[in-house]
Amino acid sequence: MAACALRRALLSSVSTYSRKHTHRILSFAEASSRFDVYKPQQTCHVCGLFGSGQQRRFMSSRPEGKILETVGVFEAVKQHGKYETGQLFLHSVFGYRGIVLFPWHARLYDRDVTPPMSDSKPEPPGTHGSKEVKGKTHTYYQVLIDTRDCPHISQRSQTEAVTFLANHDDSRALYAIPGLDYVSHEDILPYYSTEQIPIQHELFERFLMYNPTKSPPFTARDTLKAWQEKNHPWLELSDVHRETTENIRVTVIPFYMGMREAQNSHVYWWRYCIRLENLGNEVVQLRERHWRIFSLSGTLETVRGRGVVGREPVLSKEQPAFQYSSHVSLQAPSGHMWGTFRIERTDGSHFDVRIPPFSLESNKDDKAPPAGYTF
């Protein structure tokens, strides 16, 4: 009964959040045991509550005996404008704690929105037969993830979302910066904390400093400004592509990484980040991927295989999303990618989810190798 009362109190506080914006954010106290941000919970037979979507996003499951700790106080969600450098937040989908480094203005190509006929353009050969929509400006953010949360979301989201080609001395070298992510404006649930170091990440104190006279009270150091300026071509998020098929939404963000010379030819590299989200109630599992990769050189490659990055994630109401990144190379400065994910239902039937076609475009001007720290 006490647990039921606690659930009711939490749901009540969440429902009045938009009026007061002062409710405590709950996160789990440090412990060595693993937890899953979206671990299913049994329905309470006394109060009949399973937990609303908002409750699941603010809470995580831990083994018995673990307690909740307060990490901050909710702030009002920005309906207009953007969040500033130093804004603390919870990720609304993956539940991790993070802090905003700086915003990006991206072009969002949302195929779930039907464009006027006059705004449509033909697509590359072999794509879905629909028309390409016009890009709409949308705000995304470069963020740091609290390293205490990274192990707990590793099965649902890759946190090495930023990768670079290394210097020209080794054409095969690639390095990643753990705990850096790109999040959309609607992913952010802002909060305030009185801690001077609320996020644990090796770059936090290098990039940010505490300033109680500011709001938010964390400002960018010169090192962050210099790092952003020098690495802008490799960090920049310019296009986001999104499409939903049978309640499964696929979001793709491509990044140009640079060019390398190999066997007297040029090889161009891109990274692409993909998020799959189950917007419905049915439990499904990703089984196969089918890619078509068109290069400006005239080649068309087909790639088919099991799962993605060695996994076949289950998408359910309790664990609705999976995010990963991969890389592709072409022997031409531009091209296109598109394809499908084969999804399996619990009854064994399958359906294909469309991956929205997206362009692979190289930067027109030559860029120096990425600058910054040795991680």
- Report the C-alpha gap between 356 and 341 in whole angstroms: 11
3-state helix, strand, coil in the chain (%, to 5): 15, 45, 45
| Per-residue pLDDT at 251 | 96
Whole-model pTM?
0.75
Rounded to 5°, angle at Cα 317 from 92 and 340 = 90
Q: How many CA atoms lie within 13 A of 13 on its CB side?
A: 15
What pLDDT shows up at residue 35? 29
**Whole-number Å distance between alpha carbons of 252 and 108:** 10
Q: What local confidence, expressed as pLDDT, does residue 75 receive?
A: 94
**How many residues appear in the chain?**
375
Domain boundary assignment for the chain: 73-112+135-361
Query: Looking at the DSSP assignment, which residues form a beta bridge with residue 375?
Result: none
- At 38 the pLDDT is 33
Quote the pLDDT of residue 264: 81
Closest Cα partner for 314 from 83, 38, 115, 129?
38
- CATH architecture of the domain 73-112+135-361 equals Sandwich (2.60)
How far apart, in whole angstroms, are the C-alpha atoms of residue 272 and residue 326? 6
> What sign has the CA pseudo-torsion 2, 4, 6, 12?
negative
Q: CA quadruple 358, 361, 294, 157: dihedral positive or negative?
A: negative
Nearest to 3 by CA among 53, 66, 65, 46: 46
Residue 233 is predicted with a pLDDT of 74
From first to last of its 375 residues, the chain has per-residue pLDDT tens of 433 333 333 333 333 333 333 344 544 333 333 223 333 333 333 333 333 333 333 333 334 445 667 888 999 999 989 999 999 999 999 999 999 999 999 999 999 986 655 444 445 544 444 455 788 999 999 999 999 998 888 888 876 656 666 554 454 566 677 888 999 999 999 999 989 999 999 999 999 999 999 999 999 999 999 988 887 777 888 899 999 999 999 999 998 888 888 778 888 989 899 999 999 999 999 999 999 999 998 999 999 999 999 999 999 998 999 999 999 999 999 999 999 999 999 999 999 999 999 999 986 545 454 444 433
Instruction: With beta carbons less than 8 A apart as the criterion, state whether 218 and 84 touch.
Output: no
3-state secondary structure of 9: helix
Separation of alpha carbons 108 and 140, rounded Å: 10
CA-closest candidate to residue 132, choices 116, 147, 148, 145: 116
The Cα 22–Cα 129 span in angstroms is 49
pLDDT value for 175: 65
Q: Are 291 and 274 in contact (CB under 8 A)?
A: no
Query: What is the per-residue pLDDT for 212?
Result: 92
Dihedrals phi, psi of 12, to nearest 5 degrees: -65, -40
